[in-house]
Amino acid sequence: MSLRPRGPTVALVDDLRDLLTRAAELAAAHRAGLADRPVARPADPAVLRAAFGGPLPAGPADPASVLEELARAAEPGLVATAGPRFFGFVIGGALPAATAADVLAAGWDQNGFNAVLSPAAAAAEEVAGAWLKELLGLPATASAGFVTGGQAANTVGLAAARHHVLAEAGWDVERDGLAGAPRVRVVASEERHATIDRALRLLGFGTRAVEPVRARPDGAIDVQDLERALGDRPQIVCLQAGNVNTGACDDLRTACELAHRHGAWVHVDGAFGLWAAANPGTAALLDGAELADSWACDGHKWLNVPYDSGFAFCAHPEVHAEAIAYRAAYLTGAGEVSGMGDLTLESSRRARGFAVWAALRELGRDGVAELVDRCCRLARRFAAALAAGGAEIANDVVLNQVLASFGDDARTDALVRAIQLDGTCWLGGTTWRGRRYLRISVSNWLTTEADVDRSAAAILRLAGR
Ligand SMILES: *Cc1c(COP(=O)(O)O)cnc(C)c1O
């Protein structure tokens, strides 16, 4: 098959098969080199821009040379986030089958909007959605929207909450908006993730709608203070499974029961922490999670699916659809939500369920449990190695997050910079309870004990200078 239009340059590769093979070669070579290269090299933005830049090309180019040009331009600016020693933010890698599935999804070019555009994408998401609910301990009857990530999942969950609590108050927010509506109280921990605030802004609540609740020293919500903050309806309670600093999970059973006694909708942000439910060793942290009304979870963090991939679950599928639905008639005769496009913020979108299905098929129930367990075990190993070298560990390592300091804030920040420049591993700094810490997140399926030992040794070496 010949690609048209043909550019003015000599064709290096003249069909799509060769082009995809070459792309796969480049991607695989990148992955193969991840374990040995510096995790993040200092990249000069001006050099990168120049490599990508210059004037807007006047005419077409040969696809094969476009690919080579892209690979050359990008290479100095690629960060080994998919590799085994990237411990910054909360970042997963990408499992082999999930990566390949996303390549197929691009090749198939399926639109994930609905089952008419892609019966295959719809079926994959239905099956993967059911698998996810089972793994995460959520009700089998919940709806599952395949969204771009935790931000979108929190926005969808809070949109469903908004619909429900205002409908109960006799207000149709989809038709009439928020002007003149009863004021909705949003009760949320001071330790909520920043994406909750952005969702509240986007949904028209404004961040001043938040009634802040104190957190315990470990970062989980203070349930007594939650009780104090609860008031009259309409109200929404935001809980969290997996604090980005400490990994702490709210006492979901107590908090859900309390919130429901006050007639609140409960949304749980479990971007990475919800995965603790899939591992028998950590499942107790998520006790009571199933009692909530909506949940946000990420695929591209702990499940190690390529970007972008998250899940918006809702215990009340009809509420989910009424808040988000693309059109008014969203129910089929069977009382089921008709389309995946009624559960996500996008209409046309990548068929991202294929990669999720592939990751779950590759790992199975035991593989997911083992992945979560291993990351937690490696986080404890990391903390122990740093503590043995003189670090103060600020958190109880209940999950995959570790906070470490080696003295005052200035010293800790200087150490973070030194670690990032050294390139053995990558991690960021954070402020926790008024002090600066190194923040370590172990979320990658590739990370081994040797990676942790090598990284801890590098950190201790740099700390000793
Ligand atoms: C990462 C994270 C988010 C945001 O998720 P994205 O996928 O980056 O949009 C929200 N909440 C928590 C607790 C997170 O860790």
Domains in the chain (CATH in brackets) are 100-359 (3.40.640.10)
SS3 378: helix
Q: What is the pLDDT of residues 371-384, one digit of tens each?
A: 999 999 999 999 99
Helix, strand, coil proportions of the chain in percent (round to 5)? Answer: 45, 15, 40
Taking the C-alpha atoms of residue 148 and residue 132, their distance in angstroms, rounded to an integer, is: 16
Task: Show the CA angle centred on residue 201, arms to residues 173 and 188, nearest 5°.
Answer: 95
Question: Is the per-residue pLDDT at 12 higher than 50?
Answer: no
Q: What is the pLDDT of residues 295-328, one digit of tens each?
A: 999 999 999 999 999 999 999 999 999 999 875 4
The structure tokens listed for 372 are: 């979560």
Q: Give yes or no for residue 157 CB within 6 A of ligand 1.
A: no
The structure tokens listed for 90 are: 């909360």
The pLDDT-based confidence of 340 (bands split at 50, 70, 90) is confident
Confidence (pLDDT) at 338:
56
Question: Is the per-residue pLDDT at 402 higher than 70?
Answer: yes
Instruction: Work out the percent of the chain whose per-residue pLDDT is above 90.
Output: 91
Q: How many CA atoms lie within 13 A of 223 on its CB side?
A: 11
Nearest CA among 63, 215, 238 for reference residue 150:
238
Q: Give yes or no for residue 92 CB within 6 A of ligand 1.
A: no
Ligand 1 mutation target, pool 202, 244, 344, most atoms within 8 A of CB? 244
Q: What is the pLDDT of residues 76-132, one digit of tens each?
A: 999 999 999 999 999 999 999 999 999 999 999 999 999 999 999 999 999 999 999
The pLDDT-based confidence of 465 (bands split at 50, 70, 90) is confident
Confidence (pLDDT) at 313:
98
Q: Give yes or no for residue 19 CB within 6 A of ligand 1.
A: no
SS3 266: strand
370 Cα distance to chain centroid: 19
Q: Average pLDDT of the chain? A: 94
Nearest CA among 54, 51, 53, 56 for reference residue 72:
51
Instruction: Please give the distance, rounded to the nearest whole angstrom, from the Cα atom of residue 335 to the centre of ligand 1.
Output: 32
Instruction: Work out the percent of the chain whose per-residue pLDDT is above 70.
Output: 94
Q: What is the pLDDT of residues 188-197, one digit of tens each?
A: 999 999 999 9
Instruction: Please give the distance, rounded to the nearest whole angstrom, from the Cα atom of residue 176 to the centre of ligand 1.
Output: 30
Q: What is the pLDDT of residues 215-264, one digit of tens each?
A: 999 999 999 999 999 999 999 999 999 999 999 999 999 999 999 999 99
Residue of minimum CA distance from atom 12 in ligand 1: 271
Residues 6+ apart with CB under 8 A from 267: 154, 157, 158, 161, 236, 237, 238, 239, 292, 293, 294, 295, 296
